[in-house]
């Protein structure tokens, strides 16, 4: 057996029914990339409560760094050794469902109020009429900024994208006069990771463009315009080139960048901020007419586990979805949960920017996903960031990068026009 088995005393085994004895020997494997983030205390509390309500069942809750989490899941599914409780970035749900490695949840979910009580994006986590995940969080975005830096530079909080670029330019400084930039106006993720693709989508959706509409890829001219705008930030030196998420956030929270774009989890980083930043950060709505929306992360279940384990995993998912634990989600993490109406006045008082993220999550009219090709998200992300990073490194012009991206996607993805 692949999974570790908890040993029980003979006395306990003698007094428990057969089904309970099976449960008493079960350890559910649950890796998440959120354990070291602001979500960690909620996952730990939920896991402990589940174990109390299900004596003998233990959850092996472990942290998996976000940059490696998806790679780890792919490797484990391929090896036939998936975690029992699957927590993943929602944009990968469709690909796994398409590969047939996830269990449809409808036979349990249809007996609950989840489909009637959840954010609208819950309906998107289905393939061929079957639901493969429970949305834990919808994307809500904000512009995180250092108020003192903006005040010192005489810069107002930007409310349009041109104002964002101009503010970033004015906020970029050589503080010690050594000829090198040591305060960047903006920290943008332009890496080859899927978050680099998200940067593209912030600007592209922000221009009121979808990347795919009616199975047609947006044209080269429109992709070029978005890439050229991102390139302007890099060429102006207002952001370092090739930043991934961790260095991007570190740059801001250590006081070396004035602004960056992040999700509703951003306030959780304040505890580890430099003293000068900890009391002076603020969050404003993103200065785009439209936002990159959609589900952020989800709970799912592997197909290749026993029926007994599936029942135990569903009990965990159902507990996470309960009104009590959804309310705690908002209170503990400061993020708007999937269940509608779960954010109360106490949570809003504790987390001053929660209402802003709630509004952001409900505002998008565009999606960061390639609609109709969600199961191809990995290839979209990979081909896009390959072209974008080549542009950022100076090897391609924005138009050449757009042509490379367009040709690559149409060559690799069947049915994309």
> What pLDDT score was predicted for residue 24?
52
Q: What is the CATH number of domain 140-293+370-412?
A: 3.40.190.10
Helix pair 220-235, 161-171: axis angle to 10 deg: 20
Residues of the chain with CATH 3.40.190.10: 26-139+294-362, 140-293+370-412
Mean pLDDT score of the chain, rounded to an integer?
89
Q: Answer yes or no: is pLDDT of 64 > 90.
A: no
Q: pLDDT tens digits for 230-249?
A: 999 999 999 999 998 889 99
Best CA proximity match to 136, nearest among 367, 312, 359, 329:
329
Q: Are 253 and 272 in contact (CB under 8 A)?
A: yes
Please write the tens of the pLDDT for every residue from 304-357: 999 999 999 999 999 999 999 999 999 999 999 999 889 999 999 999 999 888
Q: Is the pLDDT of residue 67 over 80?
A: no
Residue 371: pLDDT band by 50, 70, 90 thresholds? confident
Cα–Cα nearest to 236, from 156, 283, 158, 167: 167
- Taking only the tens place, the pLDDT of each residue in 175-198 is 999 999 999 999 999 998 888 999
Percent of the chain with pLDDT over 90: 69
Gap between the terminal Cα atoms of the chain: 47
pLDDT above 80: residue 413? yes
Confidence (pLDDT) at 40: 94
Residue 16: the pLDDT is 47
Tell me which CATH code domain 26-139+294-362 carries. Answer: 3.40.190.10
DSSP bridge partners of 283: 144
210: left (phi over 0), alpha (psi -120 to 50) or beta: beta
pLDDT over threshold 60, residue 6: no
pLDDT digits (tens, 9 = 90+) for 113-154: 999 999 888 888 988 899 999 999 988 899 999 999 999 999
For the stretch 158-186, what's the b/e string if a residue is b when 16 or more beta carbons lie within 10 angstroms of its beta carbon? beebeebbebbbbbbbeeeeeeebebbbb
φ, ψ for residue 208, nearest 5 deg: 70, 40
């Amino acid at each position: 057996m692949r999974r570790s088995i908890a040993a029980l005393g003979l006395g306990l085994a003698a007094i428990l029914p057969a089904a309970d004895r099976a449960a008493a020997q079960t350890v559910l494997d649950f890796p998440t990339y959120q354990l070291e983030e602001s979500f960690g205390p909620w996952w730990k509390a939920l896991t402990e409560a589940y174990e109390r309500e299900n004596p003998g069942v233990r959850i092996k809750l472990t942290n998996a760094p976000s940059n490696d989490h998806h790679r780890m899941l792919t490797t484990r599914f391929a090896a036939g050794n998936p975690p029992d409780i699957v927590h993943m970035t929602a944009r990968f749900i469709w690909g796994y469902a398409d590969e047939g490695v996830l269990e449809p949840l409808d036979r349990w979910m249809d007996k609950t109020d989840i489909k009637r009580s959840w954010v609208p994006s819950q309906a998107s986590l289905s393939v061929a009429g079957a639901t493969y995940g429970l949305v834990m969080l919808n994307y809500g975005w904000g512009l995180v900024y250092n108020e003192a830096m903006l005040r010192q530079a005489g810069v107002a909080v930007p409310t349009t994208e041109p104002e964002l670029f101009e503010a970033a330019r004015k906020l970029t400084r050589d503080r010690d006069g050594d000829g090198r930039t040591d305060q960047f106006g903006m920290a943008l993720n332009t890496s080859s990771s899927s978050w680099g693709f998200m940067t593209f989508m912030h600007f592209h959706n922000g221009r009121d463009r979808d990347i795919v509409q009616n199975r047609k890829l947006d044209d080269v001219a429109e992709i070029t315009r978005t890439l050229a705008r991102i390139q302007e930030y890099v060429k102006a030196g207002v952001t370092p080139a090739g930043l991934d998420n961790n260095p991007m956030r570190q740059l801001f929270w250590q006081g070396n960048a004035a602004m960056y774009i992040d999700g509703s989890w951003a306030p959780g980083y304040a505890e580890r901020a430099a003293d000068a930043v900890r009391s002076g950060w603020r969050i404003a709505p993103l200065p785009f007419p439209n936002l990159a929306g959609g589900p952020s992360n989800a709970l799912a279940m592997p197909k290749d586990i026993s029926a007994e384990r599936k029942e135990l995993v569903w009990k965990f998912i159902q507990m996470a979805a309960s009104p009590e634990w959804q309310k705690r989600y908002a209170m503990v993490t400061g993020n708007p949960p999937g269940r509608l109406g779960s954010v109360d006045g106490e949570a809003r008082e504790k987390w001053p920017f929660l209402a802003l993220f709630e509004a952001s999550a409900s505002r998008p009219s565009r999606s960061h996903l390639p609609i109709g090709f969600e199961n191809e998200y990995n290839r979209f992300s990979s081909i896009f960031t390959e072209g974008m990073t080549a542009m950022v490194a100076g090897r391609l012009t924005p138009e050449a990068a757009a042509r490379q991206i367009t040709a690559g996607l149409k060559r690799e993805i069947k049915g994309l026009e």
